[in-house]
Structure 1
Amino acid sequence: MSKILLRELAHARSGDKGNTVNIGLFPYRAEHYELLKEQVTAERVKEHFAGLVEGEVARYEVPNINAFNFVLRGALNGGASRSLRSDNLGKCFGAAILRMQVEFEGN
């Protein structure tokens, strides 16, 4: 098994509300849903965003559309209008999650 970037298997959309980021993760192929379910856990997402996300990360499974919804609390250093970060909006988190590595064997 080799490691690849999540962007090879899925795409993401994200946004924010206050100090919370929401990320929707969608595999390109339905057969990759179970692989992502196994490997892209709330704990791994929290670890991936270490230093940025101060609160809880929750994962919601949406199997009828082969998707996941991640809610990252305390992710924006107080919120977009309060943060001193140079990129302080939730939309950047969608691109950032796709840099997570997953183990993959197959096509």
Structure 2
Amino acid sequence: MKLKELAHSRTGDKGNISNVSLIVYHLEDYERLRQAVTAERVKNHFKDIVKGEVIRYELPKMGAMNFVMQEALGGGVTRSLSLDRHGKSLSSYLLEMEISLES
């Protein structure tokens, strides 16, 4: 199953750092997603883009997680040769991640 079936996402940027949120549609899905979508899995999913550390921040009462990805924008908006210098499409790419919710 793809993440987009259970959650939506937004992206922000600052310099060469991108942060991608993951917000569940239904709060009862949060714990299962928390277990399935680790910082390590996100780092691996973005392995061709993110060169630095990925840190996950949890907001359980909101049913959300925020992934802060260092060295993710090819040097930053003013230095990147990427077509999407702000990294706005990274949220869509995260939602394409395949997950298994088997317990």
TM bucket (normalised to shorter chain) is: over 0.9
- Contact kept? 2:6, 2:24, Cα under 8 Å: yes
Q: TM-score w.r.t. structure 2 length? A: 0.94
User: CA shift at 1:33, angstroms?
Assistant: 0.2
Q: Which residue of 1 aligns with 2:84?
A: 87
Q: Which residue of 2 aligns with 1:12?
A: 9
- Contact kept? 2:20, 2:67, Cα under 8 Å: yes
Q: TM-score w.r.t. structure 1 length? A: 0.91
CA offsets 1:14-72 (integer angstroms, 9 cap, x no match): 11000000111101111110111001000000000011000000000111211101100
Q: Which aligned segments of 4 or more residues in structure 1 are displaced greater than 3 angstroms?
A: none
Aligned length in residues:
102
**Is residue 2:26 matched to residue 1:29?**
yes
1:49 to 28, 46, 49: 46
Q: Which residue of 2 aligns with 1:77?
A: 74
Sequence identity percentage: 51
Letter in 2 for 1:59: R
Report the secondary structure of 2:89's partner residue: helix
1-side partners of 2:6 and 2:23: how far apart? 9
Unmatched 5+ residue regions in structure 2? Answer: none
1:66 to 63, 75, 98: 63
Unmatched 5+ residue regions in structure 1? Answer: none
CA RMSD of aligned residues (A): 1.0
User: CA shift at 1:104, angstroms?
Assistant: 3.2
